[in-house]
Amino acid sequence: MVFDSTAHSDHEQVSYFTDPETGLRAIVAIHDTTLGPSLGGTRILDYDSEDDALEDVLRLSHAMTYKAAAADLPLGGGKAVVLGDPDEIKREALFEAYGRAVDCLAGRYITSVDVNSGVEDMDVIARETDHVVGTSGGLGDPSPITAHGVFHGIRACAESVYGAPSMDGRDVVIQGLGKVGRSLAEELLADGASVTVSDVDRDAVDAFAEEYDVETVRPDAVYSQSCDVFAPCAVGGLINDDTIPQLDCDIVAGGANNVLADRRHAAVLRERDVLYAPDYVINGAGLITVAKEYLGGTRAEAFEEAAAVGDRLLEMIELADERDTTVLEAADAYAERRIEAGKRTPTVPS
């Protein structure tokens, strides 16, 4: 039954862990380690069913393989879910048991923070295993580095659409003024862009507008705001059948994960002549930062490497033009090409 499941069919390993003493119930999915050990966060959620948890971890680990490959990292894709109400199960003993579970995978899976797991939890896991990043002794909050990558991704899109990467005089709307959105706004302003910000948190918008020379727009009016670049930096799924017809921009490029409600929306945007930068490519500098922490390196190096997000994205845009397809399809092809090349040249253990 399990091996016949189509969702399972291309995963290398799916491991279930229980610890009766602490109540730990976890699933670790290792999708692909062709390019290196699998890396992906641990999500803690009270899933409706075990099937839902399995489906989520399989989907997320698959996506991590593509994200790592598209960022030119020597890493594969993995993800873990811990089942349960985060408020009830977040106990040190449970995270220690989970750390031992991660450790027994012998470095094939490296964990990190995700929904409902944070730096303090990674510190507990690190008591039991070396295969964890995002601890308090690590490289720190990746958000400004993620934003730096998004900034260079936006410049790459501008180069493709307008023939020059400079954001001087360009109008950018940023949806979501959190950790990524704020840093992105600062970089765009420094490059000469006119920036309009929006957030459901009205106080955050007001405070930002007092400090910086930005316009503001209400969350419900954000999509129809005329601009060159619409930068989604809030939550997923906000580019969908309802919002796409409202868009009045040339480019959709921002930091949010799972921006499109459905994969087919990449083609819908293309039909409307809107260039969409795939989320997993343009926000890849977050992964570059945690990879740097695991593989060894400094925060300054991660920041420097984040700029290469723009070069890679431009290559994918050109590939999409050549193939007359979406940049999302081209990004997948780019990642698959790296993985196939990795299969032909297996790494020699040092």
Interface with ligand NAD by CB under 6 A: which residues? 142-143, 146, 175-181, 198-201, 204, 219, 233-236, 255-257, 283, 286
Rounded to a whole number of angstroms, the minimum distance from the CB of residue 200 to ligand NAD is 4
Beta carbon of residue 258, minimum distance to ligand NAD (angstroms, whole number): 7
Q: Which of 67, 79, 90, 292 is catalytic?
A: 79
In the bound state with ligand NAD, the residue whose beta carbon lies nearer, of 140 and 165, is: 140
**Residue nearer to ligand NAD on the CB measure, 64 or 97:** 64
Q: What angle do CA 318, 229, 59 make, to 5 degrees?
A: 65
User: What's the min distance (Å) between Cβ of 291 and ligand NAD?
Assistant: 13
Other beta carbons within 10 angstroms of residue 178's beta carbon come to: 16
For ligand NAD, which is the closer residue by CB, 57 or 233? 233
Nearest distance from residue 29's CB to ligand NAD, in Å? 19
Please identify which residue in the block is written with the tokens 């960022």: 71
Q: How far is the CB of 326 from ligand NAD (least distance, A)?
A: 20
| Known catalytic membership, residue 79 | yes
Q: Which residue is nearest to ligand NAD (CB)?
A: 178
Report the C-alpha gap between 334 and 328 in whole angstroms.
10
Select 138 or 286, whichever has its Cβ closest to ligand NAD: 286
Query: Which residue number, 137 or 236, has a Cβ lying nearer to ligand NAD?
Result: 236
List the catalytic residues. Answer: 79
